[in-house]
């Protein structure tokens, strides 16, 4: 027996998920078949429901069942602060700790010459429009500390500067680089160590 | 924002899949939302379809859309040979290489004192019944080379012996232990090396 057609198709689809290869997709399929009522059918229904109800926010690009999203319409948040991130997952990461109480802007990726992603493929013009509306005081660029993330941060800073010269008073900032809290020097790469050294802070002088 | 309810529920279900934690479940959910028509809805439909159509074979415990399954009813296979495996995934592993042309019997797990799995929880009585029907010449016990797998193999061999004393001519065999093909001695554990040494074969004498 080759695996059956329906099952084959399920395994093929599962193996397209990030982190799953064909072997783990088979394992997942068997696991699901052992729990049809408890997991398999609820998962099918959840997938359909989310596919139907969850949409990108027209303002910031975050995902929600409403647009503008719950973050954009939350009046307790500081609307003068926009944190620019690559992906919706980054919004979730920052929200998990409730460490940021401003608004977000999701780019939907990074510039990437390799993958042919240019500025027009990212959610940049909407950001410029938001900034142009005048209520923004600071833009925090929080792209990843990867090559593509940094390239995108530089490009964004340039575009924002051109679009909104200094006298409009909009600040542009970036996340600090350094040693992660709890990190041990011995396990850190040279890039991180060098950044931490460059950004060192005087504690007594 | 905490993640939304629908999305929360999807992520919770995804994180129950083997190999996915809550972080990778979030990544998978975002990946799915980027490809609703191409992946998310087809996956939902495939899950529903497989949950409905794929059932265990009443003879051997393998999964198929028909029962008895396509392997059990395949007349080109050698019905005198039954390979006993733990899980359906093991059937797939053996079928992938088309290295075995007999029939299978899926136990549905192993004996496990830790997890409270006893003989009655496994598909053993059906195996004894199959053997009792008289057309079986050899039973190959192909459980995993783990502690539970080996315990189960011993138990099975005992039960089969009791049930079908030697004079019925049913042979009981087990897979060979040894060095995996392509394996280097330096990277193998002592158990495997010891088994390979014990089962060494004379090539010239």
Q: Which sign does the torsion angle of CA B62, B66, B71, B77 carry?
A: positive
Residues A82, A105 contacting (CB under 8 angstroms): yes
Tens digit of each residue's pLDDT (9 = 90 or more) over A47-96: 999 999 999 999 999 999 999 999 999 999 999 999 999 999 899 888 88
Of the pLDDT bands very low, low, confident and very high (cuts 50, 70, 90), residue B165 is low
Across the interface, do A7 and B63 touch by the CB < 8 Å criterion? yes
User: Would you say residue A189 lies in a domain?
Assistant: no
**What pLDDT sits at residue A179?**
84
Q: Do A87 and A49 share a structural domain?
A: no
Q: Which residue does chain B place closest to A42, by CA atoms?
A: B13
Of the pLDDT bands very low, low, confident and very high (cuts 50, 70, 90), residue A1 is very low
Q: What percent of chain A has pLDDT over 70?
A: 95
Residue B1 has pLDDT above 50, yes or no: no
Across the interface, do A1 and B51 touch by the CB < 8 Å criterion? no
**What pLDDT sits at residue A184?**
83
Residues A64, A70 contacting (CB under 8 angstroms): yes
Q: Do A165 and A70 share a structural domain?
A: yes
- CA dist A109 and A82 (Å) reads 17
Task: Kindly report the nearest CA distance between residue A34 and chain B, in angstroms.
Answer: 10
A138: left (phi over 0), alpha (psi -120 to 50) or beta: beta
Residue A3 has pLDDT above 60, yes or no: no
Of the pLDDT bands very low, low, confident and very high (cuts 50, 70, 90), residue B2 is very low
Alpha-carbon Rg of chain A, whole angstroms?
Answer: 22
Question: Average pLDDT in the A104-120 region?
Answer: 93
Q: Which residues of B touch A27 (CB under 8 A)?
A: 18-19, 89
Q: Which residue does chain B place closest to A3, by CA atoms?
A: B92
Question: Average pLDDT in the B20-34 region?
Answer: 93
User: Would you say residue A198 lies in a domain?
Assistant: no
Question: Average pLDDT in the B57-78 region?
Answer: 94
- CA dist A18 and A173 (Å) reads 32
User: Would you say residue B112 lies in a domain?
Assistant: yes
Q: Do B104 and B163 share a structural domain?
A: yes
Q: Do A88 and A34 share a structural domain?
A: no
Which of A141, A1, A35, A78 has its CA nearest to residue B101? A1
Chain A interface mutation, best of B21, B51, B59, highest count of A Cβ atoms under 10 Å: B51
* pLDDT: which is higher, B2 or A83: A83
Scan for tokens 């010459």, then name that residue. A113
Question: Average pLDDT in the A103-123 region?
Answer: 93
For residue A21, the SS3 value is coil
Whether the upstream peptide bond of residue B68 has omega within 30° of 0, thus cis, is yes
Tens digit of each residue's pLDDT (9 = 90 or more) over B177-197: 888 888 888 888 888 888 888
Of the pLDDT bands very low, low, confident and very high (cuts 50, 70, 90), residue B63 is very high
Tens digit of each residue's pLDDT (9 = 90 or more) over B134-145: 889 999 999 998
Question: Average pLDDT in the B23-40 region?
Answer: 93
Q: Do A9 and A107 share a structural domain?
A: no
**What pLDDT sits at residue A79?**
93
Question: For chain A, how many structural domains are there in total?
Answer: 2
User: Would you say residue A203 lies in a domain?
Assistant: no
Chain B interface mutation, best of A24, A38, A43, highest count of B Cβ atoms under 10 Å: A43
User: Would you say residue A190 lies in a domain?
Assistant: no
- CA dist A160 and A147 (Å) reads 20
Chain B interface mutation, best of A9, A10, A72, A95, highest count of B Cβ atoms under 10 Å: A10
Helix (H) or strand (E) holding A39: none
Q: Do B24 and B123 share a structural domain?
A: no
User: Would you say residue B135 lies in a domain?
Assistant: yes
Q: What percent of chain B has pLDDT over 90?
A: 60
**What pLDDT sits at residue A167?**
61
Q: Residue A19's domain is classified under what CATH number?
A: 1.10.8.420
Residue A99 has pLDDT above 90, yes or no: no
Tens digit of each residue's pLDDT (9 = 90 or more) over A135-162: 899 999 999 988 899 999 999 999 988 8
Does the predicted TM-score (pTM) go above 0.95? no
Asked if B66 is an interface residue toward chain A (Cβ–Cβ < 8 A), one would say no
- CA dist A167 and A120 (Å) reads 27
**What pLDDT sits at residue A2?**
46
User: Would you say residue B191 lies in a domain?
Assistant: no
Question: B102 is in which domain, residue-wise?
Answer: 63-174
Q: Residue A104's domain is classified under what CATH number?
A: 3.40.1360.10
Q: What angle do CA A13, A15, A19 make, to 5 degrees?
A: 135
Q: Do A76 and A48 share a structural domain?
A: no
Q: Do B112 and B40 share a structural domain?
A: no
Q: Do A81 and A169 share a structural domain?
A: yes
Q: Do A154 and A88 share a structural domain?
A: yes
User: Would you say residue A120 lies in a domain?
Assistant: yes
How many beta-carbon pairs below 8 A join chains A and B?
157
Total number of residues shown for chain A: 205
Question: Average pLDDT in the A101-108 region?
Answer: 95
Q: Do B162 and B70 share a structural domain?
A: yes
Q: Do A67 and A26 share a structural domain?
A: no
């Amino acid at each position: 027996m080759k695996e059956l057609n329906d099952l084959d198709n399920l395994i093929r689809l599962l193996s397209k998920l990030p982190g799953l290869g064909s072997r783990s997709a088979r394992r997942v399929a068997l696991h699901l078949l052992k729990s049809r009522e408890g997991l398999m059918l609820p998962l099918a229904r959840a997938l359909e429901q989310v596919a139907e109800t969850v949409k990108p926010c027209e303002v910031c690009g975050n995902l929600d069942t409403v647009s503008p999203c719950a973050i954009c319409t939350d009046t307790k948040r500081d609307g003068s602060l926009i944190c620019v991130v690559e992906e919706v997952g980054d919004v979730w990461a920052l929200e998990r700790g409730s460490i940021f109480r401003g608004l977000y802007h999701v780019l939907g990726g990074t510039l990437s010459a390799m993958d042919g992603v240019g500025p027009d493929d990212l959610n940049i013009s909407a950001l410029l429009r938001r900034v142009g509306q005048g209520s923004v005081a600071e833009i925090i660029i929080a792209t990843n500390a990867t090559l593509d993330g940094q390239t995108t941060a530089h490009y964004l800073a340039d575009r924002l500067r051109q679009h909104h010269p200094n006298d409009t008073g909009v600040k542009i900032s970036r996340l600090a680089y350094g040693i992660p809290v709890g990190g041990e020097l011995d396990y850190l790469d040279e890039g991180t160590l060098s950044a931490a050294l460059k950004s060192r802070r005087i504690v007594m002088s």
